[in-house]
């Protein structure tokens, strides 16, 4: 049986937090264990370049993100795990696809349209002010990421669905002009993906500044848990677990039975202080070994390089011959052929 090819990119900026872990990293690692799939997972560092022009941030984020995925259980022997920038064929394919993509298609991309709309609302003379070609072409680079490996199922957040549809359009156009070459990718959106609240009760997100970094040092981690917003009910008063940030976070890391037990403790009036202490100890236990492995990898970047180099080699075993075939199809081939 041929395996379904699952492919997804991780934009490499920032330090992963509890929300990223429960909502994206853990489910992706679990999915990669499915016998019927073959997973391609990569650090989208050339995508990061569009949003960030700080070389040190790009370097630090790539390292932290690679170490996080490996420390949380991604098995590089099972999954093809690589850095986008290690696969030159992706960028070459990006140009080939750029050459057959209608500009009008890119005009319709949400991120670009939002930038233009913001300029218009601010009465800018130039509607494209501040828009770089990287942002404009972003969906084509994403398409090249996917088509280079004939990715079939693409797990993404809702905001990325449009990009996968564009990838299908571009793949179809290539197939129409040059003959059947690419399979048509399909977005997989996990509606049940967990959304974890942050310190202030809103969705945990870097843009709200309310995150708890996944591998924060123990002392700081305890402090952050203690900072989570609760209400003013006293110990002994029954409390409602629904809508409670502490309970939501606990639930993302436990099964039904543990949650039922915790509901009872809320009903029995457990105090917020005790609850925070309990949650800290619980999460710390869950994350301790992973944090240690993360710190070990962060202190040994040469090992990260070795793992990623092996991943790149595995990936290029697909991309190099496939690109040779694509070049031939478009007429870029040895003169003697
Ligand atoms: N743009 C995606 C995001 O921001 C990351 C990404 C880059 C990606 N290339 C991809 C996702 C290819 C899926 C497939 O989340």
Distance (Å, whole) CA 330 – CA 96: 9
Instruction: Please report the pLDDT score of residue 45 as a whole number.
Output: 94
Per-residue pLDDT tens over the stretch 300-337: 999 999 999 999 999 999 999 999 999 999 999 988 87
Q: What percent of the chain has pLDDT over 70?
A: 100
C-alpha distances (whole Å) from 254 to each of 143, 181, 190, 292 are: 37, 44, 19, 21
Residue 213: per-residue pLDDT: 95
Q: What is the dihedral of CA 217, 219, 225, 227, to 10 degrees?
A: -120
Q: Dihedral sign, CA of 63, 66, 70, 71?
A: positive
Using alpha carbons only, give the angle 208, 212, 214 rounded to the nearest 5 degrees: 130
Q: What is the average pLDDT score of the chain?
A: 95
The rounded distance, in Å, linking the Cα atoms of 323 and 250 is 47
Give the pairing of strands 37-44 and 80-83: parallel
- Per-residue confidence band for 62, with pLDDT thresholds at 50, 70 and 90: very high
Only one residue has tokens 């929300």, namely: 19
Confidence of residue 275 (pLDDT cuts 50, 70, 90): very high
Asked if the model's pLDDT at residue 12 lies above 80, the reply is no
State how far the Cα of 29 lies from the Cα of 31, in Å rounded to an integer: 5
Task: Evaluate if residue 13 carries a pLDDT over 90.
Answer: no
Residues 155-204: tens digit of each pLDDT: 988 889 999 999 999 999 999 999 999 999 999 988 777 889 999 999 99
Spacing, Cα 335 to ligand 1 middle (Å): 37
Q: What is the pTM of this model?
A: 0.91
Q: Please choose, from the candidates 156, 153, 144, 59, the residue with its C-alpha nearest in 3D space to the C-alpha of residue 99.
A: 144
**pLDDT confidence of 260, banded at 50, 70, 90?**
very high
Average pLDDT for residues 69-83, to the nearest whole number?
96
User: Which pLDDT belongs to residue 190?
Assistant: 81
C-beta of 44 in contact with ligand 1 (< 6 A): yes
User: Which two tokens mark 202?
Assistant: 């809103």
The mean per-residue pLDDT over the stretch 25-36 comes to 91
- Place 35 in a pLDDT band, splitting at 50, 70 and 90: very high
Query: What is the pLDDT, as a whole number, of residue 337?
Result: 75
Q: Residue 102 and residue 123: Cα distance in Å, rounded?
A: 28
Give Cα 120 distance to the centre of its chain.
Answer: 31
Residue 243 is predicted with a pLDDT of 92
Atom of ligand 1 minimally distant from the CA of 47: 7
Ligand 1 atom closest to Cα of residue 84: 9
Chain-centroid distance of CA 155 in Å reads 9
- Averaged over 38-55, what is the pLDDT? 94
Residue predicted with more confidence, 27 or 98: 98
- Closest C-alpha residue for ligand 1 atom 5: 9
Residue from 62, 110, 163 to probe ligand 1 pocket by mutation (most atoms less than 8 Å from CB): 163
Q: Is the CB of residue 146 below 6 angstroms from any atom belonging to ligand 1?
A: yes
d(C-alpha 5, C-alpha 316), whole Å: 16
Q: What is the mean pLDDT of residues 51-69?
A: 93
């Amino acid at each position: 049986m041929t395996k379904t090819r699952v492919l997804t990119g991780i934009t490499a900026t920032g330090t992963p937090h509890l929300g990223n872990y429960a909502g994206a990293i853990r489910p992706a690692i679990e999915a990669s264990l499915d016998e019927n799939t073959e997973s391609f997972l990569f650090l989208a560092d050339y995508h990061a370049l569009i949003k960030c022009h700080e070389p040190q941030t790009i370097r630090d984020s790539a390292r932290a993100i690679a170490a996080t995925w490996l420390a949380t259980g991604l098995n590089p022997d099972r999954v093809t795990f690589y850095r986008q920038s290690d696969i030159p064929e992706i960028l070459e394919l990006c140009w080939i696809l750029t050459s057959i993509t209608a500009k009008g298609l890119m005009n319709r991309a949400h991120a670009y349209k939002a930038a233009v709309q913001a300029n218009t609302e601010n009465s800018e003379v130039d509607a494209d002010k501040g828009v770089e070609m990287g942002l404009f072409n972003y969906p084509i680079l994403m398409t090249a990421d996917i088509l280079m490996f004939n990715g079939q199922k693409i797990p993404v957040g809702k905001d990325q669905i449009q990009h996968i549809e564009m990838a299908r359009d571009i793949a179809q156009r290539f197939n129409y002009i040059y003959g059947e070459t690419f399979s048509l990718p399909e977005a997989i959106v996990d509606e049940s993906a967990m959304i974890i609240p942050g310190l202030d009760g809103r969705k945990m997100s870097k843009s709200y500044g309310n995150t708890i970094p996944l591998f924060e040092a123990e002392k700081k981690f305890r402090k952050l848990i203690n900072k989570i917003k609760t209400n003013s009910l006293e110990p002994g008063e029954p409390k409602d677990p629904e809508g409670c940030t502490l309970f939501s976070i606990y639930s993302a890391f436990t099964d039904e039975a543990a949650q039922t037990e915790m509901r009872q403790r809320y009903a029995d009036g457990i105090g917020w202080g005790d609850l925070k202490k309990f949650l800290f100890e619980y999460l710390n236990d869950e994350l301790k070994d992973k944090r240690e492995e993360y710190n070990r990898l962060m202190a040994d970047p040469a090992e990260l390089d070795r793992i990623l180099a092996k991943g790149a080699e595995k990936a290029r075993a697909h991309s190099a011959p496939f690109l040779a075939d694509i070049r031939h199809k478009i007429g870029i081939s040895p003169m003697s052929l």
